[in-house]
């Protein structure tokens, strides 16, 4: 099938355009939208309501038996693709009490962010990591992982993956486990014991060069302490980034993770960043302006931030927002930019 045929009022040019199409060629001078003054994302700024997410996840728990019971957050601008933004997957995973999501591994990297509940252990290459509210847990690309709900109560959490990006790059690999669940539990994961004991202290010896963080979980108590310590009293804001304690780099080669705190009545700041992001409200309430639209948000709400969308957060009660983005990719390619300014309300 020949490619798009362009047309012209000039007979000679029109015939030329027909021949171009016949040979699967297109004239640059007729193309629009290739070079825009600024990013022009197809994804739209969007909010999924926490109350809907939890109710629907709960129904999936009653109705569906599946290895991975996950509702994918599908951005309405992305033509039916199951992606929150063009490069990132966001999903609500739900495990009933005593349920297991069996082991597998894949080249896309994943993170889990827990909004509430407890009882689930994620085993990453056999290392059991307990998941509790406010915790960030990593399952880097090609690590084996399985989830065990050791409690009687169901538990849900947010999954963030780079699936769409890896898919566009035609780099998806997947391997199922052998089906025998390794149901280890531990007070503290091996990864935390070695790399999460104290800030800046890591074991002596050869550190294996890995593209991802040596520390596989970041506990809420630590995040909370950092946010409190770094609060700017004038602006009522603090923001922290999660990094590999060994290299100082982002936690995953494709994903940057941050936690932002806004005290009630904070001084707002508008931020624009190149690349796509997903945010989730852990605690508090307020309004988040995405472009020209202000959304009232509360704990559990998840939102999509397409590239270069101005974001302004105003807290009504102290607000904690977790965010993950594809910034390491943009950065590695020399494409990252950001700017911030005082909003004009």
- Chain residues binding ligand GTQ by CB under 6 A are 68, 70, 91, 93, 106, 110, 145, 159, 161
CB of 105 to ligand GTQ, least distance (A): 9
Nearer to ligand GTQ, 159 or 192 (CB): 159
Q: What letter would DSSP give residue 85?
A: B
CB of 106 to ligand GTQ, least distance (A): 6
Q: For the chain, give the longest Cα–Cα distance.
A: 78
Q: Say whether 278 sits in a helix, a strand or coil.
A: strand
Interstrand relation of 338-341 and 311-325 (parallel, antiparallel or unpaired): unpaired
Nearer to ligand GTQ, 106 or 256 (CB): 106
CB contact at 8 A, 138 and 251: yes
CB of 192 to ligand GTQ, least distance (A): 20
How far is it, in rounded angstroms, from Cα 34 to Cα 302?
Answer: 31
How far is it, in rounded angstroms, from Cα 205 to Cα 165?
Answer: 35
Nearer to ligand GTQ, 145 or 212 (CB): 145
State both tokens at 287. Answer: 């309004």
How far is it, in rounded angstroms, from Cα 220 to Cα 132?
Answer: 8
CB environment 309-333: b (16+ within 10 A), e (fewer) = bbbbbbbbebbbbbbbbbbbbbbee
Helices (H), the chain: 11-22, 50-63, 163-168, 190-195, 220-229, 327-332
Nearer to ligand GTQ, 159 or 250 (CB): 159
Nearer to ligand GTQ, 91 or 279 (CB): 91
Nearer to ligand GTQ, 161 or 297 (CB): 161
For residue 34, how many C-alpha atoms fall within 13 Å in the half-sphere facing its CB? 7
CB of 298 to ligand GTQ, least distance (A): 23
CB of 184 to ligand GTQ, least distance (A): 17
CB of 128 to ligand GTQ, least distance (A): 15
Q: Which residues pair with 315 in a beta bridge?
A: 286
CB of 74 to ligand GTQ, least distance (A): 13
Main-chain phi, psi angles of 251, to 5 degrees: -60, -35
Nearer to ligand GTQ, 122 or 213 (CB): 122
């Amino acid at each position: 099938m020949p490619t798009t045929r362009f047309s012209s009022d000039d007979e000679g040019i029109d015939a030329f355009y027909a021949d171009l199409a016949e040979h699967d060629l297109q004239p640059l001078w007729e193309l629009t939208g290739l070079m825009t003054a600024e990013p022009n994302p197809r994804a739209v700024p969007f909010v999924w309501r926490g109350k809907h997410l939890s109710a629907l996840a709960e129904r999936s728990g009653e109705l569906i038996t599946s290895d991975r019971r996950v509702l994918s957050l599908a951005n309405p601008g992305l033509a039916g693709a199951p992606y929150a933004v063009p490069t990132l997957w966001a999903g609500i995973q739900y495990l009933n009490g005593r349920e297991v999501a069996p082991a597998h591994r894949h080249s896309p990297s994943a993170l889990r962010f827990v909004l509430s509940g407890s009882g689930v252990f994620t085993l990453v290459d056999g290392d059991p990591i307990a998941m509790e509210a406010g915790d960030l847990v990593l399952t880097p690309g090609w690590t084996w992982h399985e989830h065990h709900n050791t409690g009687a109560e169901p538990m849900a959490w947010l999954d963030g993956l780079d699936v769409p990006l890896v898919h566009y790059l035609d780099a998806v690999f997947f391997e199922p486990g052998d089906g025998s669940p390794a149901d280890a539990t531990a007070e503290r994961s091996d990864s935390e014991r070695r790399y999460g004991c104290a800030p800046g202290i890591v074991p002596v010896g050869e550190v294996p060069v890995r593209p991802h963080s040596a520390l596989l979980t970041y506990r809420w108590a630590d995040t909370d302490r950092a946010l409190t310590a770094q609060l700017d009293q004038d602006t009522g804001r603090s923001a922290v980034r999660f990094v590999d304690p060994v290299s100082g780099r982002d936690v995953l080669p494709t994903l940057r993770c941050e936690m932002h705190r806004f005290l009630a009545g904070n001084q707002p700041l508008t931020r624009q960043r190149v690349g796509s992001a997903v945010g989730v409200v852990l605690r508090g309430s307020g309004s988040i302006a995405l472009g020209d639209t202000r959304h009232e948000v509360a704990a559990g709400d998840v939102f999509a931030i397409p590239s270069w969308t101005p974001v302004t957060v105003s807290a009504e009660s102290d607000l904690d927002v977790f965010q993950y983005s594809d910034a390491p990719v943009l950065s590695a390619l020399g494409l990252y930019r950001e700017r911030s300014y005082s909003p004009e309300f």
